[in-house]
Copies of this chain bind each other. A is one copy, B any other.
C-alpha cells in the first residue's frame, strides 16, 4: 500500500507555521507531524546532542534538576515543533535511524531505512516530535528520547560509520568542515599557521595541512595552554609548535616572524573559539595570503577594519561548516592516522 507524499520545498518552508512559509530556522513554530513530504527523510530519533549554550541555560534555569530539564525540553518542542531554545536561540544535533526517505529527496536510493545517521544541521530548524524523554545526562548534555524528526532536502547529515565508535565519530563530525576547507586552501609548499592547534578542529586542520603542504611546505601550530601545546606536539603534524596568547597580536607576530624568517604565513586557519584573535591572524599572514576563520567568536568588523587599519591585503574567509563530502573527508582522517585517532580517543572518545 503506497503512501501519498505531499510535495515539499527543499529548504523546508512548507513546515513553517509562524510565520507561514518562512525559512524554518527563523520560524517561531514548525509543523512537526511525523508524516514525511516527498523530499524529506523521516528519522526515528534516539539521542539529542543539545548545544552547550542551550543545555547550560536550561540546566541553570532548572537548578540542575534533570527531570525539570526534561520537562522544559518537552515544553519547548510542544510549543515550537523543534528543540530551538527560545533564550539562547541555539539547537544542537541528533542521532537516530532512518525510517523513510521520500522519493524526491536527493539521497533517495542511496540512504535507506535502518541506517543510523547524525544530523549536521541545527536542531533549531529540525522538525521534532517527542513521544517521551528517557534520560537527561547532565554530564554529556545528551538526551535519550523516543521520537521522530524530519531532515529536509537541503539539510546535511552523515550516515554514521560502522568501523568507528559513535562518540568518536560524532566528535569528528562536529567539526567536519575544518579539514575539508583546509584541503581546498593549502597548496604544496605553503606555510600554514593553525591557531588553536591543540583543539579538535585544530588537530584535524594540522593533519590535513601537513598532507597538502607536503615536504616543501611548513606547518606551524599555535597553542595557548600547556596541555594544548602538548597535544599539538604529540600529534607530530606540525613542523613547529608555538605557544602564545592569540589575543596579543604583536607577540604572535614576533613568534611567527621568527619561525618563518620574516616571510609570515601563506594560509592561516583560526580554530580558536576566543574573542579578539582576528588581529593576530591578520598580522601573522603575508600580503596576498588567506585567512580562514572557523571560530564562531570571530567579529566581522574586527576582521574587516583590522586588515584595513594595517594596510594588509589578505583574503579573509568566513568559515563554512559545510563543504561537499566534508563528513567523509573528516572521518577518513581518523581512519588514515593512528596518531590522530589516538589523540581523539584520549580526549574526546
Give me the interface of A with B, judged by CB distance under 8 Å: 11, 13, 21-23, 25, 120-122, 125, 154-156, 177, 249-250, 279, 283, 287, 293, 296, 298-301, 303-305, 307-324
Interface pair B318/A300, CB less than 8 Å apart:
yes
Nearest-Cβ distance from residue A281 to partner chain B, whole angstroms: 11
- Asked if A313 contacts B324 (CB within 8 A), the reply is yes
Do A309 and B125 form a contact, CB below 8 Å, given A287-B324, A301-B296, A304-B320? Answer: yes
A155 contacts which of B11, B22, B311 (Cβ < 8 Å)?
A: B311
Closest 7 CB pairs of A and B: A308-B321, A316-B318, A156-B311, A300-B300, A154-B310, A308-B322, A307-B320
Complex-state Cα separation, A323 to B287, whole angstroms = 10
Q: Quick check: B320 and A317 within 8 Å, CB to CB? A: no
Selected from B21, B177, B308, the residue in CB contact (under 8 A) with A121 is B308
Centre residue among A287, A296, A315 by max chain B CB count within 10 A: A315
Contact of A13 among B250, B301, B309 (CB under 8 A): B250
Copies per complex? 2
A320 adjacent to B313 (CB under 8 Å) = yes
Q: Given that A279-B23, A311-B154, A322-B312 are known contacts, is A300 also in contact with B305, CB under 8 Å in the complex? A: no
Which residues of chain B come closer than 8 Å to A313, judged between CB atoms?
320, 322-324
Pick the contact of A296 from B25, B304, B324 — CB < 8 Å?
Answer: B304
A122-B309, A300-B303, A313-B322 known, 10 other contacts, Cβ within 8 Å: A11-B283, A22-B250, A121-B308, A122-B308, A287-B324, A300-B318, A303-B318, A307-B322, A308-B321, A316-B318
- Residues from chain B with a CB closer than 8 A to the CB of A314 are 320
Instruction: With both chains docked as a complex, state the minimum distance between the C-beta of A245 and any C-beta of chain B, in angstroms.
Output: 14
In the assembled complex, which residues on chain B have CB atoms less than 8 Å from the CB atom of A177? Answer: 308
Smallest CB-CB separation from A156: which chain B residue? B311
* A156 to B298 CA separation, bound complex (whole angstroms): 24
Q: Would you call A320 and B300 a contact (CB within 8 A)?
A: no
A310 CA / B122 CA spacing, docked (Å): 10
Select which of B23, B154, B249, B318 is within 8 A of A23 by beta carbon: B249
Q: For residue A315, which residue of chain B has the nearest CB? A: B317
Contacts of A310 in B (CB 8 A): 11, 154
CB distance from A237 to the nearest CB of B (A): 25
Q: Which residue of B lies closest to A296 (CB)?
A: B301
Give, as a whole number of angstroms, the nearest-CB distance from A92 to chain B. 13
Q: How far is the CB of A130 from chain B (nearest CB, A)?
A: 22
Task: Report how far A305 CA is from B177 CA in the complex, Å.
Answer: 12
Q: How far is the CB of A197 from chain B (nearest CB, A)?
A: 21
Known A303-B318, A314-B320, A317-B315: A309·B25 in contact at CB below 8 Å: yes
Are B322's CB and A311's CB within 8 A? Answer: yes
Name the B residues within 8 Å of A156 (CB-CB): 308, 311
A250/B21 in contact, CB under 8 A: yes
Contact yes or no, A304 B321, CB < 8 A: yes
Chain B residues, Cβ within 8 Å of A308? 120-122, 156, 177, 320-322
